[in-house]
Amino acid sequence: MSQYKLIRCTINGKEVERMIDVRASLTDLLRNDFHLTSVKKGCEVGECGACNVLIDGECYNSCIYLAAWADGKNIRTLESLTGPNGELSDIQQAFLEEAAIQCGFCTPGFIMTAVEILETGKLYTRDELRKLLSGHLCRCTGYENILNAVEKTMKRRLGMPTE
């Protein structure tokens, strides 16, 4: 017998209300109910980071987060970053410039972690960034370009030279 719960939350700035199946993960909710397909289904056991989203400003793998827990939360996905006419945000642009994308499957997860890092407004060393980004697997890029993109955006936002 199925069990349902009414949840209210904010997704990408919009207040929403949904009747959810309690068996759903947050990934299921975001993809199936809201068509936010930047949230990828990768390993589904919290190891690869492809489903990573921001909840109240912190990163979570949405595949191991119950949709029922989203009640009252503020959730952000990659879709929230683009401008009204589809303009890319600085971090997305940097991923393109640095060739930090190949197949793109890991990219939304990485970028949402980058958003959490950038929103702290702190200057991190390359080693610190490496650790902060370590919850994501990428099988294409070898990570260096991803690090470059995050580092470059961090420095730009802090008004520092990037070369």
Partner 1 sequence: MYDLKALYEATSVQNAVELRLEHPEAQIIAGGSDVLVQMREGKRAGKELISIYGLDELRGVTIDADENIRIGSLTSFSHITRDPIIQKYINVLGEAVDMVGGPQIRNIGTIGGNTCNGVTSADSASTLHAWEAIVELTGKNGVRRLPIKDFYIKAGQVDIRVEDGEIQTAILIPKASYENTFGHYIKYAMRNAMDIATLGCSVNVRLSPDKKTIERARIAYGVAGPVPMRAESAEAAANGAPSTREVIERFGLAVLNDIHPRDSWRASKAFRQHIAVEMAKRCLLESIRLAGGEIE
CB of 159 to partner 1, least distance (A): 26
State which residue, 92 or 113, has the beta carbon closest to partner 1. 113
Q: Quick check: 65 binds partner 1 (CB under 8 A)?
A: yes
Q: Quick check: 110 binds partner 1 (CB under 8 A)?
A: no
Strand order in the sheet with 52-55: 14-21, 4-11, 74-76, 52-55, 58-61
Residue 5: strand pairing partners: 20
Query: For residue 81, what are the CA distances in angstroms to 2, 34, 89, 108?
Result: 35, 16, 6, 10
Residues 124-163 that bind partner 1 (CB under 8 A): 131-136
Residue 1, classed as helix, strand or coil, is coil
Q: Quick check: 49 binds partner 1 (CB under 8 A)?
A: yes
Interface with partner 1 by CB under 8 A: which residues? Answer: 3, 5, 21-25, 28, 44-47, 49, 52, 58-61, 64-66, 68-69, 113, 131-136
